[in-house]
């Protein structure tokens, strides 16, 4: 069996490549990545030592290149991690997000239809659902929650999800979709909250916090996310959507303070800055479906995962 992983040199994609190679010895993993600022060959250091792994540098928006990959590698499964994902960047430059997240997904779907594939899996985000109220912690996103994206990033991911399901209805393409909450762990770029705070605090620089810092996110350690996707590929129902969450809702300011405590840095490093445009108040995921159907639940307790993450950034060269 051969699995194609797009965006596999990125933070989450590379973690999935490592997970899949370890979980399924003997299966081939072909990684496609454009190697933009978010994709790094160093993330694939372990995978490149594995004889069952191949890396191909290309853009998922290049129909000619993607078709060539499908012709040469004949993948049985395709998992699409490739995406522009930073909300701030999408606000400043939406066009690239539409190109990669929508057009790129369409090219991959066309290739899957043309060459025949057993499963196409789309990696999505909880942000496609919009925002939840802060004063009703019992209200969570379910797979039936209507899509209500707030940013160009989340709108492009919602459009991609809809394309995936439309290709199932129109062409009979076997698909699944997973929508995950905020990931954290080693190898994440410093534009995201946790690594940004770690790196600034280590340098004794001011740590920026949007607005009042009370926005709430659901956090999941990256390897728990990868394990969930693996279980969906093996036993998930074709045509279904699965929410993946860490069952760990925390305010942004609390995350910042936990990191400062681990690094033994003063709270005075915190500086509040102008809030992001369209900043969603809260995300929270109901994971009942994936838990009942596949037996998945997050295993990494947040404090342990955060400590491991801080240690990785502290000791990286």
Which residue among 153, 167, 221, 283 is the active-site one? 153
Which residue among 33, 126, 161, 218 is the active-site one? 126
As given in the structure block, the two tokens for residue 140 are 């969570």
What letters, b where the CB count within 10 A reaches 16 and e where it falls short, cover 8-43?
bbbbbbbbbbbbbbeebeeebbbbbbbeeebbbeeb
311 catalytically annotated: no
What does DSSP say about strands 77-80 and 175-180: parallel, antiparallel, or unpaired? unpaired
As given in the structure block, the two tokens for residue 307 are 């400590």
HEC string of the chain? Answer: CEEEEECCCCHHHHHHHHHHHHHCCCCEEEEEECCCCCCCHHHHCCHHHCCCEEEEECCCCCHHHHHHHHHHHCCCEEEECCCCCCHHHHHHCHHHHHHHHHHHHHHHHHHHHHHCCCEEEEEEEHHHHCCCCCCCCCCCECCCCCCCCCCHHHHHHHHHHHHHHHHHHHHCCCEEEEEECEEECCCCCCCCHHHHHHHHHHCCCCEEEECCCCCEEEEEEHHHHHHHHHHHHHHCCCCCEEEECCCCEEEHHHHHHHHHHHCCCCHHHEEEECCCCCCCCECCECCHHHHHHHCCCCCCCHHHHHHHHHHHHHHCC
What letters, b where the CB count within 10 A reaches 16 and e where it falls short, cover 196-214?
bbbebbeeeeebbbbeebe
pLDDT tens profile 30-72: 999 999 888 999 999 999 999 999 999 999 999 999 999 999 9
pLDDT tens profile 262-311: 999 999 999 999 988 878 889 999 999 999 999 999 999 999 999 999 99
Instruction: Please give the average per-residue pLDDT across 227-233, as a whole number.
Output: 98
Q: Is the pLDDT of residue 205 over 80?
A: yes
**Minimum mean pLDDT among 92-96, 143-147, 179-183: which range?**
92-96
**Minimum mean pLDDT among 30-39, 109-118, 175-184: which range?**
30-39
Which residue among 59, 127, 161, 280 is the active-site one? 127
- Report pTM: 0.95
Q: Is the pLDDT of residue 317 over 80?
A: no
Query: 123 or 281, which is more confident?
Result: 123
Mean of the per-residue pLDDT values for the chain?
Answer: 96
127 catalytically annotated: yes
pLDDT band at 182; cut points 50, 70, 90: very high
218 catalytically annotated: no
- What is the pLDDT, as a whole number, of residue 103? 97
Q: What percent of the chain has pLDDT over 90?
A: 91
């Amino acid at each position: 069996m051969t699995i194609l992983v797009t965006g596999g040199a990125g933070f989450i994609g590379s973690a999935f490549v490592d997970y899949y190679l370890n979980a399924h010895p003997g299966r081939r993993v072909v990684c496609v990545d454009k190697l933009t600022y978010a994709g790094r060959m160093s993330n694939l250091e372990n995978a490149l030592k594995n004889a069952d792994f191949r890396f191909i540098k290309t853009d998922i928006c290049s129909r000619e290149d993607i078709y060539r990959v499908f012709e040469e590698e004949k993948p049985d499964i395709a998992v699409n991690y490739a995406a522009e994902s930073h909300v701030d960047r999408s606000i400043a430059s939406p066009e690239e997000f539409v190109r990669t997240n929508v057009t790129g997904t369409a090219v991959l779907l066309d290739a899957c239809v043309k060459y025949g594939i057993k499963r196409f899996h789309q990696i999505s985000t909880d942000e496609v659902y919009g925002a939840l109220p802060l004063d009703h912690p019992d209200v969570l996103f379910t797979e039936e929650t209507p899509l209500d994206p707030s940013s160009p990033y989340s709108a492009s991911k919602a459009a991609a999800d809809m394309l995936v399901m439309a290709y199932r209805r129109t062409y009979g393409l076997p698909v699944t979709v997973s929508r995950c909450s905020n990931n954290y762990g080693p190898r994440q770029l410093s534009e995201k909250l946790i690594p940004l705070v770690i790196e600034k605090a280590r340098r004794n620089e001011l740590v920026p916090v949007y607005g009042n810092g009370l926005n709430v996110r659901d956090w999941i350690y990256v390897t728990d996310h990868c394990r969930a996707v693996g279980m969906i590929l093996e036993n998930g129902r074709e045509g279904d959507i699965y929410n993946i969450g860490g069952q760990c809702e925390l305010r942004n300011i609390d995350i910042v303070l936990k990191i400062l405590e681990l690094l033994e840095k003063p709270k005075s490093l915190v500086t509040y800055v102008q809030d992001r445009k369209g900043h969603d108040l809260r995300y929270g995921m109901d994971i009942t479906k994936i838990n009942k159907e596949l037996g998945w639940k997050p295993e990494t307790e947040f404090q342990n995962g955060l400590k491991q993450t801080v240690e990785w950034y502290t000791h990286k060269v």
